[in-house]
Each structure stands twice: as structure tokens, then as C-alpha cells.
């Protein structure tokens, strides 16, 4: 059907800033909402690293924020692998 499947496989949507409080149904998020949230958390983590490296945030506070972001990332990611 498609001549070049590579373009479909490599496509990565640009998700909007999404966090769990943005989910339509908090108890049953869609795969799109979960992926958008994971992408948001990755961006937040990267930004926090930049802020730490540039001295824009206190080291202790920045490290605390990084731990929280990483914990939230793992928690959200685990939703994808739950068995029902």
C-alpha cells in the first residue's frame, strides 16, 4: 500500500505540553496522552539540566526536581505496561 514505510516508522509527532492533570479521564488516559506526558517530562528534565548547568537554579533544588521528574516519568511509563 505504501511505497516507503520508513517515513511512517520514523514519524514522531510534536506533542503539546501535557501532564496528568491535562488528561481527559484521569483514571484511563489514552496512549496519546501517556506518550505526550512522557515527552513533556523528557523536555522538563532536559530543561532542568540546562538550568542547573547555567546556575539558574539552586543545586539542591534542581537535583530534587530531577528526582521528581524521573520518578514521575517511571510511574507514567509503567501505565503502558500494566496488565488488566
Contact (Cβ atoms closer than 8 angstroms) between residue 20 and residue 29? yes
pLDDT of residue 79: 87
Structural domain for 46, as ranges = 42-84
Give the pTM.
0.77
- Residue 76 is assigned to a structural domain of this protein: yes
Tens-place pLDDT, residues 39-49: 999 999 999 99
- Residue 4 is assigned to a structural domain of this protein: no
Q: What's the number of domains the chain is made of?
A: 1
Q: Give the DSSP H/E element, type plus range, for residue 8.
A: helix 6-9
pLDDT of residue 44: 95
Tens-place pLDDT, residues 45-76: 999 999 999 999 999 999 999 999 999 999 99
CA distance 37 to 44: 10
- Residue 48 is assigned to a structural domain of this protein: yes
Amino acid at each position: 500500500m505504501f511505497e516507503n514505510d520508513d517515513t511512517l516508522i520514523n514519524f514522531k509527532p510534536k506533542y503539546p505540553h501535557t501532564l496528568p492533570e491535562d488528561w481527559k479521564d484521569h483514571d484511563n488516559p489514552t496512549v496519546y496522552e501517556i506518550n505526550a506526558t512522557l515527552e513533556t517530562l523528557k523536555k522538563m528534565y532536559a530543561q532542568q539540566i540546562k538550568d542547573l548547568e547555567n546556575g539558574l537554579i539552586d543545586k539542591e533544588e534542581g537535583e530534587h526536581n530531577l528526582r521528581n521528574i524521573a520518578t514521575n516519568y517511571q510511574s507514567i511509563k509503567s501505565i503502558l505496561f500494566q496488565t488488566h
